[in-house]
Chains A and B, each alone.
Chain A
Amino acid sequence: AQSVTQLGSHVSVSEGALVLLRCNYSSSVPPYLFWYVQYPNQGLQLLLKYTSAATLVKGINGFEAEFKKSETSFHLTKPSAHMSDAAEYFCAVSGRNYGQNFVFGPGTRLSVLP
């Protein structure tokens, strides 16, 4: 069965600092991997996805993530945090087989301090 862990339920960074949100997955075969962001009282917005092309994936709002098979990781980074990045971030994994469902991590709340 697939699973996702996100280290740190709450991460705080200063504005302009590097953002690093960690995601590790467990899957018997290389999965598809996703990062979503959720702002208060809203649904989830897709930030980026890995589907086996380039291992470094660029997303919206300056975010990127690198797929590392050897570490079973898909960490999300942004070089310089902005106040508007404060939100909850979810990593998700989906299998490649027909009809496998998304499994979401528990989420990491990002706070950006002025």
Chain B
Amino acid sequence: ELKVEQNPLFLSMQEGKNYTIYCNYSTTSDRLYWYRQDPGKSLESLFVLLSNGAVKQEGRLMASLDTKARLSTLHITAAVHDLSATYFCAVTKGGNYQLIWGAGTKLIIKP
């Protein structure tokens, strides 16, 4: 059974600092997604990662994928308050289109 674990589940940090969120999954996966969710809002797609060593960057966020370790990271550089949200990773496998989700990392960035 495909399972996804994120850590930390909660992170409070100061503006300007760097930090990394980790996403581990239990069995081979074809695709890994990162989504952002603001309180009371829906999910916004950030990245999709397909292959080992894939790296994608958008602004202060950079996501990477190590399929051998079954690990993805979401790195935040010089955090700003606007990045406060809950970040989810999700994976899917084969022809199965359902996404299996982590529990989310709630990120609070203090001015």
Q: Is B one of A's binding partners?
A: no
Q: Which positions in B face A, CB cutoff 8 Å?
A: none
Seen from chain A, the residues whose Cβ lies within 8 Å of a Cβ on chain B are none
